[in-house]
Amino acid sequence: MLKTVVPAVRSHLAIRRLPVVLLAGLILSGLALLLLPHRAWAELHGAEHRLVFSTFPAGGMHDLFDHILSEAYARLGYEVELQGYPAERALFMANDGLVDGEAGRVSVVEKNNPNLIRVPTPLYVNRIAILTTDTEIDPAKGWDQFLSLRTCIRNGYKFLESRVKGENCHVVSSYEKMMQLLKNGRVDVGLAEFFDILPTLGKVGMGRVRMLCEPMASNPMYHYLNKRHADLVPKIDAVLRDMAAEGRLKAIELHLMQVHFNNLAGSCPLVEPAR
C-alpha cells in the first residue's frame, strides 16, 4: 500500500511547489532586467523606438535627410533608418505603410499620397540647378523655354516631371547618365536638385559643363509620416523648429556641402543654403 501512496504524495507536493518555482523565476528575471546597463536596456526596447523611412537612393539629399532626422528623432528617443529606393517606389512604400514615412519631399506629392501627413517645418529648401555647356538659359523666362530644348531630368522627381514635358524631355535613371549626355552634347540642358547632384559632380567632374548662378526654382522639402503615426507629427515638428532656431539645420547642410564641394572648387555657384 505504501508503495503506491508515496509516489502520489511526492507528485502532489511537486505540483504544489510549481507556482513557487515559477514565481521565483519571474522575480529573478525582473531583477536581471533592472540590473541591465542603460545601453543594453535601450537595445532591449529598440524595436519599439525605431522608425524606418523611405527616401531617394544614395546621394546628397539622402545624406542630408539621414543626418537631420537621426538627430531630430534621437531627441525623442527614437532610432532612425533610411532606406533608399527609386523615387516613385519610395513614395509607394511610405503611402502604403510599408515603412513609417518618407524622409523628405516637396508638397506636390500630397495630391496622390493621401496617407502621408506633412510635418510643417521644412527640412531643407531645394534648388533646381541649371546645367549646360553653351545654351543660354534665363530662369526669369520660365519653364516654356525648355519646350524647344533637349532637356534632361532624373526620373521620379515629381516637381520637375510636372514642369518639363514633351518629346524633347529626356528622363534618365542617374545623374551620371545626365552628365554623360551633357558632356557628349546629346542634350542641351540638365535640371537637377543642387544638393542631390553634388556627390556625382564630385565624382565625375564638371568638364565643359557649367552651372548657372541662379536656380530655376526653389522649393521647401518636408518630412512626411504615415497616418498611423499622426501622434508623432506635433512632437517631431517641435524638435525641427528647435533645430532650425538653434541653427542646426543650416549647420548640417553646410557641413555636408563642404564634404561634397571640396572637389568642385569654383564650379558650383549655388553654395549658400537657401533659407
pLDDT digits (tens, 9 = 90+) for 73-120: 999 999 999 999 988 899 999 999 999 999 999 999 999 999 999 999
Same domain, 235 and 114: yes
The reply to whether 117 and 242 lie within a common domain is: yes
> Which helix (H) or strand (E) element contains residue 98?
none
Q: For the chain, which residues score pLDDT lower than 50? A: 1-15, 18, 20-47, 265, 271-275
What's the domain count of the chain?
A: 2
Q: Are 19 and 27 in contact (CB under 8 A)?
A: no
Q: Find the domain containing 78 and state its range.
A: 43-124+220-264
How many residues belong to the chain? 275
- Please give the pLDDT value at position 15: 44
Q: Which three cell numbers stand for residue 50?
A: 525605431
**Average pLDDT of every residue of the chain:** 83
- Residue 191 near residue 216 (C-beta atoms within 8 A): yes
Q: Is residue 9 part of a domain?
A: no
pLDDT computed for residue 269 by the predictor: 56
The enclosing H or E element of 198 equals: helix 194-204
Beta-ladder partners of 83: 54
Buried b (16+ CB within 10 A) or exposed e, 7-17: eeeeeeeeeee
The verdict on 117 and 130 lying in the same domain is no
pLDDT above 90 covers a percentage of the chain that reads: 60
| Assigned domain for 8 exists | no
170 and 54 in a common domain: no
CATH code of the domain in which 160 resides:
3.40.190.10
Reported as a single tens digit per residue, the pLDDT across 153-182 is 998 888 898 899 888 999 999 999 999 999
Q: 54 - beta bridge partners?
A: 83, 102
102, amino acid identity: E
